[in-house]
């Protein structure tokens, strides 16, 4: 039986940060998010293509706080789709 879950992408946030702040800000954002999720930067690049499945509420809220630092609302920063897992 297939389970349907949500898949979260941060590509919209990265695009906004890149336009308004440049590569240095994107790298800072990436490092903060990786720290929250306990990821290496190698994991970050893999997840950018497949998304984050079943992120915990504490991590989701912590990332939203990071988005706020960059002037991005959750609605602007996250891309959310359904995923069959």
Q: How far apart are CA 39 and CA 42, in angstroms?
A: 8
**Quick one: average pLDDT of 76-81?**
92
Query: What confidence category does residue 49 fall into, taking pLDDT thresholds of 50, 70 and 90?
Result: low
The pLDDT mean for the chain works out to 88
Task: For residues 66 and 85, give the distance between their C-alpha atoms in angstroms, rounded to a whole number.
Answer: 28
CB 82 within 8 A of CB 6: yes
| Burial bucket for residue 26 (CB in 10 Å: 0-12, 13-18, 19+) | middle
Q: Give the number of other Cβ atoms within 10 Å of residue 84's Cβ.
A: 8
Assigned token pair, 3 = 């389970």
User: What is the pTM (predicted TM-score) of this model?
Assistant: 0.85
The domain limits of the chain are: 4-84
CA distance 67 to 46: 21
């Amino acid at each position: 039986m297939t389970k349907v879950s949500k898949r979260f992408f941060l590509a919209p946030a990265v695009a906004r940060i890149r336009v308004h702040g440049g590569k240095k800000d994107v790298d800072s954002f990436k490092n903060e998010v990786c720290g929250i999720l306990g990821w290496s930067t190698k994991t970050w690049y893999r997840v950018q293509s497949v998304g984050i499945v079943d992120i915990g509420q504490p991590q989701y809220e912590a990332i939203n706080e990071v988005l706020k630092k960059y002037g991005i609302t959750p609605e602007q920063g996250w891309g959310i789709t359904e995923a069959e897992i």
